[in-house]
Amino acid sequence: MAMEKSCSLLIHFDKGTPAMANEIKEALEGNDVSRKIDAMKKAIMLLLNGENVPQLFISIVRYVLPSEDHTIQKLLLLYLEIIDKTDSSGKILPEMILICNNLRNNLQHPNEYIRGVTLRFLSRLNEAELIEPLIPSVLANLEHRHVFVRRNAILAIMSICKLPQGEQLLGDAPELIEKTLASEQDLSARRNAFLMLFTCAQERAVNFLLNHLDNVPNWGDLLQMVVLDLIRKVCRTKPAEKGKYIKIIISLLNSSSTAVMYECAATLVSLSSAPTAIRAAANTYCQLLLSQSDNNVKLIILDRLQELKASHREVMVEMIMDVLRALSSPNLDIKRKTLDIALELITPRNIDEVVMTLKKEVVKTQNKELEKNGEYRQMLVQAIHSCALKFPEVASTVAHLLMDFLGDTNVASAMDVVYFVREIIETNPKLRESIISKLLDIFYQIRSSRVCSCALWIIGEYCLSLHEVESGISTIKQSLGELPFYTVTEDGEVVDPTASKSQGQVNRASVFAAATASSKRPAVLADGTYATQSATSEIAMTTPALAMGAAGTNANLRAILLTGDFFLGAVVACTLTKLVLRLEHIESSTVSVNKAIADALLIMTSMLSLGQSNVLPHPIDDDSYDRVSLCIRLLSSPTDMMRTVWLRSCRESFVKMIVDKQHRETEETKANAQITHAQPDDLIDFYHLKSRKGMSQLELEDEVQDDLKRATGEFTKDGDNIRKLNRILQLTGFSDPVYAEAYVTVHQYDIVLDVTVINRTNETLQNLCLELATMGDLKLVERPQNYTLAPEASKQIKANIKVSSTETGVIFGNIVYETTSVLDRNVVVLNDIHIDIMDYISPATCADVAFRNMWAEFEWENKVAVNTNIQDEKEFLNHIVTSTNMKCLTPPSALDGDCGYLAANLYAKSVFGEDALVNISLEKQSDGKLTGFIRIRSKTQGIALSLGDKITLKQKK
């Protein structure tokens, strides 16, 4: 395979209708300008796509070179840029002398456009023999009246200086450019001049900058950006001198250009750890966050703030309210990222302000005109929940406001609210009475089965006083409406007694229309098993479904029960049982207790009657039937042991769950905090004992921070050398004439191969070329060039490969070279490089509800059978977690014990934002072997297949 030449042009070429060389030649020799232009374009495209048409060159010299048309002259320069100017031995072709004469005429042309494009062409020319006779003309253009010419003359001089023979060709170029820079008035020309000094004579650029320190803020944004590049480069080579440059950066933070502001902040963070510098950078980022309208820009700035938070949390804590102002953006991704940053910056000092802001945002979500209000409200509720858990004293200010959203039509948001209430009522005993009172008042507004179930559990567990218990029983009875739930008339029609009072007879089809609309779909339970779940439990009850039986009334429980949701009926039965048992404990009147028991039994038997009738399309399920029956038996003959179980054990289990959750969060926080803890032998620096030597406060702070870094070894800290060695792959054998090995670096969206090639022979290898090809979602960004390798010499070759998705890919290729003794090209086949999916995914966390929702939504599933020699369930789980770089969402307390089976959920996120879900279900057989399945689900096919292959390979130890 022939190696493609490097070129600065990329033009689309339709290979379906290639132009013929004789047609192009005929058009070039004609007098029609438009046909000449078209012919030149075709000739350029043929050359770019590997076609060699040497017969056109003489025609172009004779008929195109003398043309005065600007478009033809521009195309001529593009043509000259891509043709071969040297022979096989590297010598300039004789016919290029004709071109050189034409270029000199163009550089002295009266039209400034012709001069400018010719100078731009020279900046891409690498042949010193062609450039040398043109240098006087190039230098003369530095004083041209038109800025377009001067700007390109400076770039041409810079490219000449960069050539290997640059010093011989233009030894005094830096001095000339410095004089030009001092006298030039145009911003773009000054920028090019300073860039030339920065590239070719760094000391002159530094001296010029230091001599004009006071004027730097008044320079244009183009020049200021180059100044920042220079500062970064100088400070990397001379860290001791960065104090004076930081002053320049601070002065540029107030620039009118947002690009300069952003670069200043980034440069400041990279150069200094002084609190004053970090504070200035954070302030700049916050200003840009509010002033920029582009959502992509906002997300980039939030990423920078996230990085600052990780390394300089103390400074970022002061910025929390400025960061929260980004919530004004309508974009949900920006809101989510803003809340994530803010929640990690909460302290006792700022918690009140943060919660007040979040409360205002919650109130704003009541405006129905805004899009995705429900999703945003859910994010806010979760944020407030997190705040209230960290700082319980703020719970009282938000609990009642959030409870107004229990009847929200967005079920996910309402579920977050009810989970918040459930946890707060346990962790804040002082709020119990007010929360219970509020919950009983608004219970009729709840229209979701899942929210009702959780609210009923709260009522059953936390109604403790006589008044609360009686109010709880009364609320449930009113929500269920009049009993029985249905009656059959003499004509055999089914009638809802509640509806018959206001609407008359209603036939069976209309009363239970909502039930027939219930659809079924599989759902994953907490233990990883599947169950059938009615869609009516997923969505909030809408007005049409209620209109038949309970519209205009408070009978929300009745309406949901009539859709066939008997799980909710079982929850109602359990709640009534708890309330009646508690009433029996605190009420002295036997009559009142017996009446409550009778009412509860009537409700439960009515539910069983409804479930066993043929009124609803689906009868009551066995689990719900057994649960309601148990409640009936318990109320008929209660025992002390059962009272203890129902009134204490349930709540104790919930308390244990909360304590376990808090313990896990505390352990994670400690683990993260240990990373940044100072060591006992760290240097203690006393500001007042520091020699100031005329330094400003910022310079002093920066020097102190540098001392601290030296003391803690941060400057000299090396990376993980073992990990680096693991990433070195041998591509050829030791006995091959060319030895090659690659160091693979995986970034987020690209892979960099740093290939070391060593000539093991005693001959010079010519046109040595690394040819690579890819399989999977990998694409070569650029092809490496040809090289000449002396005997026993080595060469570093870099190749960039773009990654477009999380999928295992393969890179394969050859090393091709020529030797003087053998005319044919020699080929050394390289070992394949397998790109591991583990480089793209990282452990992440998500709520159980979010996990189940994603599990139900994702369509790609890969089912892997367990086949391992590991015999312990937990050991196998830990092995899979380690091998797949995922996080186990199932808490350790749920995995305790030895019961012979295990179910756990794992979760990870890719660098492309893809979610990877894994469910492990294991069972231990009598012979000690583990059996079961590992299910992988994702939105895309690639990650599911790649992760499945990885697990299959790594199952056995």
pLDDT tens-place string over residues 227-239: 888 888 888 777 7
pLDDT tens-place string over residues 648-676: 888 888 888 888 888 877 777 666 655 54
Task: Kindly state the tokens that stand for 209.
Answer: 């900058």
pLDDT band at 19 (very low <50, low <70, confident <90, very high): low
**Ramachandran angles phi, psi of 9, nearest 5°:** -110, 145
Q: Which of 17-21, 125-129, 577-581 has the highest mean pLDDT?
A: 577-581
How far apart, in whole angstroms, are the C-alpha atoms of residue 695 and residue 678?
A: 27
User: Are 459 and 579 a contacting pair, CB within 8 Å?
Assistant: yes
How far apart, in whole angstroms, are the C-alpha atoms of residue 277 and residue 715?
A: 19
Report pLDDT for 533. 47
Residue where the block lists tokens 């038996």: 633
Partners of 841 in beta bridges: 910
Helix (H) or strand (E) holding 902: strand 901-910
Residues whose CB is less than 8 angstroms from the CB of residue 641 and which lie 6 or more positions away in sequence, other chains included? none
The conformation of residue 64, written as its DSSP 8-state character, comes to I
How far apart, in whole angstroms, are the C-alpha atoms of residue 749 and residue 840?
A: 9
DSSP structure string for 348-395 = TTTHHHHHHHHHHHHHHTT-TTSTTHHHHHHHHHHHHHHHHHH-GGGH
User: Are 154 and 193 a contacting pair, CB within 8 Å?
Assistant: yes
3-state helix, strand, coil in the chain (%, to 5): 60, 15, 30
User: Are 10 and 47 a contacting pair, CB within 8 Å?
Assistant: no
Residue 427 predicted with pLDDT over 50: yes
What three-state secondary structure class fits 862? Answer: strand
Residues whose CB is less than 8 angstroms from the CB of residue 943 and which lie 6 or more positions away in sequence, other chains included? 805, 806, 807, 837, 841, 910, 914, 916
Report pLDDT for 532. 53
Q: Report the chain's mean pLDDT, rounded to a whole number.
A: 80
**Ramachandran angles phi, psi of 108, nearest 5°:** -110, 15
pLDDT tens-place string over residues 757-773: 999 988 888 888 888 88
Beta strands in 85-174 (DSSP E): none
Flag the least confident range among 102-106, 485-489, 571-575, 814-818: 485-489
Residue where the block lists tokens 């859910």: 378
Of 344 and 825, which is predicted with more confidence? 344
Helix (H) or strand (E) holding 275: helix 275-291
How far apart, in whole angstroms, are the C-alpha atoms of residue 394 and residue 388?
A: 6
Task: Kindly state the tokens that stand for 211.
Answer: 């001599």
B/e letters for 232-255, b = 16+ CB within 10 Å, e = fewer, are bebbeeeeeebbebbebbbebbeb
The conformation of residue 836, written as its DSSP 8-state character, comes to P
Residues whose CB is less than 8 angstroms from the CB of residue 885 and which lie 6 or more positions away in sequence, other chains included? 838, 841, 842, 843, 908
Task: Kindly state the tokens that stand for 781.
Answer: 């960004």
**Ramachandran angles phi, psi of 549, nearest 5°:** -115, -35
Residues, the chain, total?
Answer: 957
Report pLDDT for 539. 36
pLDDT tens-place string over residues 35-75: 888 888 888 877 777 677 777 777 887 778 778 888 888 88
Of 877 and 705, which is predicted with more confidence? 877
How far apart, in whole angstroms, are the C-alpha atoms of residue 320 and residue 384?
A: 15
How far apart, in whole angstroms, are the C-alpha atoms of residue 486 and residue 611?
A: 11
Decide the pairing of beta strands 915-924 and 750-759: unpaired
Dihedral sign for Cα 362, 367, 368, 372, please.
Answer: negative
Report pLDDT for 171. 77
Give the CA angle between residues 368, 370, 375 to the nearest 5°. 90
Average pLDDT over residues 198-225: 84
- Give me the amino acid identity at 713: G
Partners of 769 in beta bridges: 816
Using alpha carbons, select from 377, 302, 367 the residue that is nearest to residue 340.
Answer: 302
How large is the C-alpha radius of gyration of the chain? 38
The conformation of residue 62, written as its DSSP 8-state character, comes to I
User: Are 807 and 776 a contacting pair, CB within 8 Å?
Assistant: yes
User: Are 888 and 904 a contacting pair, CB within 8 Å?
Assistant: yes
pLDDT-above-70 percentage for the chain: 82
What three-state secondary structure class fits 89? Answer: coil
Report pLDDT for 571. 93
pLDDT band at 822 (very low <50, low <70, confident <90, very high): low
**Other beta carbons less than 10 A from residue 474's beta carbon:** 12
Task: Kindly state the tokens that stand for 580.
Answer: 């009646």
Helix (H) or strand (E) holding 934: strand 930-938
Residues whose CB is less than 8 angstroms from the CB of residue 15 and which lie 6 or more positions away in sequence, other chains included? 49
Residue 76 predicted with pLDDT over 60: yes
Query: Phi/psi zone of residue 792: left (φ > 0), alpha (ψ -120 to 50 degrees), beta?
Result: left
pLDDT tens-place string over residues 272-330: 877 888 888 999 999 999 898 888 999 999 999 998 888 888 888 888 999 999 988 88
Dihedral sign for Cα 537, 543, 549, 552, please.
Answer: positive
Task: Kindly state the tokens that stand for 378.
Answer: 């859910």
Task: Kindly state the tokens that stand for 592.
Answer: 């009142």
Helix (H) or strand (E) holding 503: helix 497-503
The 3-class SS string of 681-732 reads: CCCCCCHHHCCCCCCCHHHHHHHHHHHHHHHCCCCCCCCCHHHHHHCEEECC
Average pLDDT over residues 120-135: 84
pLDDT band at 459 (very low <50, low <70, confident <90, very high): very high
Of 339 and 702, which is predicted with more confidence? 339
Residue 257 predicted with pLDDT over 90: no
How far apart, in whole angstroms, are the C-alpha atoms of residue 323 and residue 341?
A: 8
Q: Does a cis peptide bond (omega within 30 degrees of 0) precede residue 133? A: no
Partners of 835 in beta bridges: 809
**Other beta carbons less than 10 A from residue 662's beta carbon:** 12
Report pLDDT for 551. 41
How far apart, in whole angstroms, are the C-alpha atoms of residue 486 and residue 464?
A: 33
pLDDT band at 543 (very low <50, low <70, confident <90, very high): very low
Distances (CA, A) of 730 to 596, 740, 830, 832, 929: 80, 7, 9, 10, 38
User: Are 780 and 735 a contacting pair, CB within 8 Å?
Assistant: no
How far apart, in whole angstroms, are the C-alpha atoms of residue 287 and residue 301?
A: 10
Using alpha carbons, select from 842, 749, 753 the residue that is nearest to residue 804.
Answer: 749
pLDDT-above-90 percentage for the chain: 13
**Ramachandran angles phi, psi of 643, nearest 5°:** -60, -45
Of 351 and 713, which is predicted with more confidence? 351
Residue where the block lists tokens 């919660």: 355
How far apart, in whole angstroms, are the C-alpha atoms of residue 430 and residue 716?
A: 54
Of 84 and 861, which is predicted with more confidence? 861
Helix (H) or strand (E) holding 669: helix 650-676
Report pLDDT for 677. 46
What three-state secondary structure class fits 607? Answer: helix
Report pLDDT for 603. 92
**Other beta carbons less than 10 A from residue 580's beta carbon:** 25
CA dihedral 46, 50, 56, 61 (to 10 degrees): 100
User: Are 281 and 268 a contacting pair, CB within 8 Å?
Assistant: yes
Of 248 and 539, which is predicted with more confidence? 248
Half-sphere exposure at residue 330, Cβ-oriented, CA atoms within 13 angstroms: 6
How far apart, in whole angstroms, are the C-alpha atoms of residue 756 and residue 800?
A: 15
Helix (H) or strand (E) holding 147: helix 147-162
